[in-house]
Amino acid sequence: MVEKFINKKIKDLILEEKEEIKKFLIEIFKDNSSYKNTVYTNPDLNECLLLYIENKLVGHISITKRIINYKNKQYLVGGIGDVAIDKEYREKGFGNKLMKEVNKILKEGNYDLGILFNHPKLDNFYSSCDWIPKDNGKIFATVNGILEDQMRTFLLPINLTEKDLEVWKNEDINIGNGSW
């Protein structure tokens, strides 16, 4: 089984690649009827990590690059979204490999931290990928003009001091317009 990870800037995707990715994601998230109208519409979407096995797309993660200003400090944040593994390849370690690869991308990209939002049933999975839960405070984003709690949040500290990490782990922080 030949595994191949491909990291691409969204602006460099050709139409066929983008359509393949959107079709893959819509199938994975078909339980969310409004998803097909929002997939790959975020203007802050910077890059994606794709996993191919034998030339078949089986995994995806998107990275939204955003500068967050909080308490007179700027943080370069990599927002992780659309984490997806083809059903046939789940529970075989591919999700973990994909997350470890995205961790490397964030570290090499000099991000201060990664942020992702998840369903609580995935807590153990994200913990196993070196992400830590934000158990205190909330992350908010303005979505359609309304400030929304982004609910369950995990962090990947990269270039944070202990003091900054405590801030991100414990305080309410607004990440600006749009979720990821």
pLDDT computed for residue 148 by the predictor: 84
Which one-letter DSSP state was computed for residue 49?
E
Q: For the chain, how big is the Rg over CA atoms in Å?
A: 16
pLDDT computed for residue 133 by the predictor: 95
Buried b (16+ CB within 10 A) or exposed e, 78-115: bbbbbbbbbeebeeeebbebbbeebbebbeebebbbbb
- Closest to 77 (Cα-Cα) out of 25, 141, 135: 141
Residue 81, pLDDT above cutoff 90: yes
State which fold the 3-177 domain adopts.
Answer: Aminopeptidase (3.40.630)
pLDDT computed for residue 151 by the predictor: 82
- Closest to 17 (Cα-Cα) out of 6, 1, 4: 6
pLDDT computed for residue 141 by the predictor: 87
pLDDT computed for residue 5 by the predictor: 97
Report pLDDT digits (tens) over 143-152. 888 888 888 9
Mean pLDDT value across residues 85-113: 97
Residue ranges covered by each domain of the chain: 3-177
Q: Are 71 and 60 in contact (CB under 8 A)?
A: no
Give the amino acid at 128. S
Residue 74, pLDDT above cutoff 80: yes
Residue 53, pLDDT above cutoff 90: yes
Pairing mode of beta strands 173-177, 3-9: unpaired
Mean pLDDT value across residues 27-51: 91
Q: Are 77 and 106 in contact (CB under 8 A)?
A: no
Average pLDDT, the chain: 93
Mean pLDDT value across residues 41-62: 94
Report pLDDT digits (tens) over 165-175. 999 999 999 99
- Closest to 174 (Cα-Cα) out of 156, 146, 164: 146
How many CB atoms lie under 10 A from the CB of residue 18?
15
Residue 178, pLDDT above cutoff 80: no
